Amino acid sequence: MADRNGLLTYAYILLYIALSSGQIFFNKWVLSSKEINFPYPLGLTLLHMVFSSVLCFILTKVFKVMKVEDGMTVEIYTTSVVPIGAMFAMTLWLGNTAYLYISVAFAQMLKAIMPVAVFVLGVAAGLEVMSCRMLLIMSVISIGVLVASYGEINISWIGVVYQMGGVVGEALRLIFMEILVKRKGLKLNPISVMYYVSPCSALCLFIPWIFLEKPRMETHSWNFQPLVLTLNSLCTFALNLSVFLVISHTSALTIRVAGVVKDWIVVLLSALLFADTKLTVINLFGYCIAIAGVAAYNNHKLKKEASQGSPDKSQPAESIPLTDSSTSNS
């Protein structure tokens, strides 16, 4: 029985890595492929959120195969969920837009700066305390990302700005999630988070879509391929489900390690799959430095959580980036 449970756990982890990596490549292909011809990151992200909202409602309220955590109030929704939804929308929108300008591998390398953004904003919000150890870790990550950027052959500063905007949005989302857990005392599993956040994110995406992409979609020719777009949205939702399964059967450490493994798979595979990806020795050397810093940061966070006596499985807010902003995060 133990062996069977162990195999099931490994299966969930592999499913998460496969779906997370696959979703990044799928989004890149949909947005930049001449065959699909759908260069509308806002529209694609909006579709994901609408699809997620509808499916969450069907699974939790119609078929009732999953449970939404209790405790949500109007005050918590307006002061916490709305900001989280807005930042989630910003993260996905800007992160997907970056794929129009930079390679998948370089986008992943830039995303390694995430702990720095989270820590700096956490210090500003009073959730983190500056220390020599953390300053050293943040410096290592920053140097690694700078070295990786220096080694990028075809760098697009527009793409870098979009990706950094997505990183800031994700960092703010994680800060708001931590405030929701620590100050509001509400702990939600990933499905509950998506149930509450997806409709809000959809609304936040719908408003800019009307002004920025809708006019372009009406004047330019593009291929509407319902099967491809539905499959893409389904993969996004399946990714969130896999996160739910991994959290339920493992720990925060496992999902973080799986996230690092996924990042390396994405970086290396993208060099084989996409013509715009040309990895250099400097790229990889810088990314190795950044990942070492990220590993040290994850270790520090896990020790901090353990010292506070927080069970791993009740910490989805800090541990898991729901939906890769790629996709995010992860």
pLDDT tens across 166-175, in order? 999 999 998 9
User: How many Å apart are CA 82 and CA 71, to the nearest integer?
Assistant: 16
- Whether residue 125 lies inside any domain: the answer is no
Task: Report the number of distinct structural domains present in the chain.
Answer: 1
Alpha helices for the chain (secondary structure H): 2-32, 41-57, 74-76, 82-98, 104-111, 114-124, 132-150, 157-182, 190-212, 214-219, 226-249, 252-273, 281-307, 316-319
| Rounded Cα–Cα distance for residues 68 and 56 (Å) | 9
Look at residue 303 and tell me if it is in a domain.
Answer: no
pLDDT in tens, 294-306: 999 988 887 877 7
Residue 324 clears pLDDT 70, i.e. is over it: no
Q: Report yes or no on 230 lying in a domain.
A: no
316 found inside a domain? no
CA distances from 161 to 64, 77, 95, 107, 144 (A): 42, 30, 10, 11, 18
> Is 329 or 50 the better-scoring residue by pLDDT?
50
**245 within domain boundaries:** no
Of 59-68, 181-190, 201-210, 263-272, least confident by mean pLDDT is: 181-190
The pLDDT confidence band at residue 271, using thresholds 50, 70 and 90, is: confident
pLDDT, residue 42, reads: 95
Cα 319 from Cα 313, distance rounded (Å) = 9
Please report whether residue 12 resides in a domain.
no
Whole-number Å distance between alpha carbons of 124 and 171 = 12
The answer as to whether 198 is a domain residue is yes
Answer whether residue 68 shows pLDDT above 90.
Answer: no
Instruction: Give the domain extent around 187.
Output: 40-102+156-217
Span 152-164, average pLDDT: 92
Distance CA 289, CA 136 (A): 12
CB atoms closer than 10 angstroms to residue 319? 24
3-state secondary structure at position 117: helix
Higher pLDDT among residues 260 and 165, named by residue? 165
In sequence order, the 6+-apart residues with CB closer than 8 A to the CB of 80 are 176, 179, 180, 184, 186
Residue 247 lies in a domain: no
Q: pTM for the full model? A: 0.87
Question: How sure is the predictor about 317, in pLDDT bands with cuts at 50, 70 and 90?
Answer: very low
